[in-house]
């Protein structure tokens, strides 16, 4: 689940002094639930401390402990970014590990997207441009969630319009689903109300996280609706850290 999908907690209801107490069994049951939840939390913390790589990527509020100045969200569990191989705009296979040595900005979207995708890619491009010559050490990668329409040629022209050197990736739907699942990204076809799915054009609902992967292939943070300055700031920090 991504941060943007998380439900917001509501305020607890007020309790009137005249409200009668609940059943006598309620208190011990709640206590037992609390104990079990605490045990689960401790187990999860131990797994995280041991670097357990299993499970999808989850964005959580708060800053990275090893780089608290970063403006994005922390990614848990801490691990190498899941590697994958898809087809690039030149028709050749491209693996995420092929970009090792560069900072990768990984985004899932599609070329028919009316708003989120072009806005995000434009923001990334503007942020990278602020880096000057250091921009050569950053790689934008777009994985399409609409392989039915996004051919390699269409993807190439689309991503390069936002940032020169950007890579667009496609593949069979099963391949795309596997990559998306590894990053806890969800997507699905959707139609306007009253449309006929058999004949009418569709859009794609999808997660909007930008995953930031450092030069060593580590998942460092996730962006949700960043500004160009946010992108430039964090990329500059990660590039400087790699030089030390």
In tens, the pLDDT along 42-88 reads: 333 333 333 334 456 666 655 555 566 889 998 887 789 999 999 99
Task: Using the predicted structure, report yes or no on whether residue 112 has a pLDDT greater than 50.
Answer: yes
Q: Is residue 186 part of a domain?
A: yes
Contact 121, 225 (CB under 8 A): no
Q: Which of 52-56, 91-95, 130-134, 178-182 has the lowest mean pLDDT?
A: 52-56
- What's the whole-number average pLDDT of the chain? 80
Q: What SS3 state is found at 40?
A: helix
- Return d(Cα 138, Cα 49) in angstroms, integer: 29
Alpha-helix residue ranges (DSSP H) falling in 139-184? 152-160, 173-182
Task: Using the predicted structure, report yes or no on whether residue 9 has a pLDDT greater than 50.
Answer: no
How many domains is the chain built from? 1
Contact 52, 80 (CB under 8 A): no
Q: In this predicted structure, what is the pLDDT of residue 56?
A: 65
Q: In this predicted structure, what is the pLDDT of residue 37?
A: 40
Give the burial class of 123: count Cβ atoms within 10 A of its Cβ; 0-12 exposed, 13-18 middle, 19 or more buried.
buried
Q: In this predicted structure, what is the pLDDT of residue 47?
A: 33
Specify the pTM.
Answer: 0.75
Contact 48, 75 (CB under 8 A): no
Q: Between 34 and 123, where is the model more confident?
A: 123
Q: In this predicted structure, what is the pLDDT of residue 64?
A: 56
Q: Is residue 2 part of a domain?
A: no
Local confidence band at 197 (pLDDT 50, 70, 90 cut-offs): confident
Q: In this predicted structure, what is the pLDDT of residue 49?
A: 33
Q: In this predicted structure, what is the pLDDT of residue 20?
A: 42
Q: Which CATH number does the domain housing residue 176 bear?
A: 3.40.30.10
Q: Is residue 35 part of a domain?
A: no
Q: Is residue 43 part of a domain?
A: no
Give the burial class of 151: count Cβ atoms within 10 A of its Cβ; 0-12 exposed, 13-18 middle, 19 or more buried.
middle
Q: Which of 24-33, 86-95, 172-181 has the lowest mean pLDDT?
A: 24-33
Q: Is residue 236 part of a domain?
A: yes
Local confidence band at 15 (pLDDT 50, 70, 90 cut-offs): very low
Q: In this predicted structure, what is the pLDDT of residue 101?
A: 96
Q: In this predicted structure, what is the pLDDT of residue 8?
A: 35
Q: Is residue 140 part of a domain?
A: yes
Task: Using the predicted structure, report yes or no on whether residue 211 has a pLDDT greater than 90.
Answer: yes
Q: In this predicted structure, what is the pLDDT of residue 169?
A: 98
Q: Is residue 7 part of a domain?
A: no
Cα torsion 178, 107, 218, 169: sign:
positive
Q: In this predicted structure, what is the pLDDT of residue 76?
A: 80
Contact 173, 155 (CB under 8 A): no
Q: In this predicted structure, what is the pLDDT of residue 10?
A: 32
Task: Using the predicted structure, report yes or no on whether residue 124 has a pLDDT greater than 80.
Answer: yes
Q: In this predicted structure, what is the pLDDT of residue 62?
A: 58
Q: What percent of the chain has pLDDT over 90?
A: 62
Q: In this predicted structure, what is the pLDDT of residue 187?
A: 95
Q: Which domain holds residue 239?
A: 58-243
Q: Is residue 71 part of a domain?
A: yes
């Amino acid at each position: 689940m991504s941060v943007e999908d998380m439900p917001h907690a509501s305020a607890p209801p007020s309790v009137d002094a005249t409200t009668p107490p609940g059943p006598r069994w309620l208190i011990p049951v709640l206590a037992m639930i609390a104990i079990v939840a605490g045990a689960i939390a401790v187990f999860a913390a131990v797994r995280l401390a041991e670097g357990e790589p299993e499970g999808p990527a989850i964005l959580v509020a708060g800053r990275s402990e090893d780089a608290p100045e970063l403006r994005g969200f922390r990614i848990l569990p801490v691990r190498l970014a899941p590697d994958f191989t898809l087809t690039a705009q030149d028709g050749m296979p491209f693996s995420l590990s092929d970009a090792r040595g560069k900072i990768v900005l990984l985004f899932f979207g599609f070329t028919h997207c009316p708003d989120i995708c072009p806005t995000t890619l434009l923001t990334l491009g503007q942020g990278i441009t602020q880096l000057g010559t250091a921009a050569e050490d950053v790689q934008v990668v777009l994985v399409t969630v609409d392989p039915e329409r996004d051919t390699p040629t269409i993807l190439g022209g689309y991503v390069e319009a936002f940032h020169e050197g950007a890579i667009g990736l496609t593949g069979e739907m099963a391949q795309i689903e596997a990559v998306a699942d590894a990053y806890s990204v969800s997507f699905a076809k959707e139609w306007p109300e009253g449309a006929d799915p058999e004949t009418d054009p569709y859009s794609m609902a999808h997660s909007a996280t930008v995953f930031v992967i450092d030069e060593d292939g580590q998942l460092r943070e996730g962006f949700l609706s960043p500004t160009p300055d946010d992108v430039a700031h964090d990329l500059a920090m990660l590039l400087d850290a790699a030089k030390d």
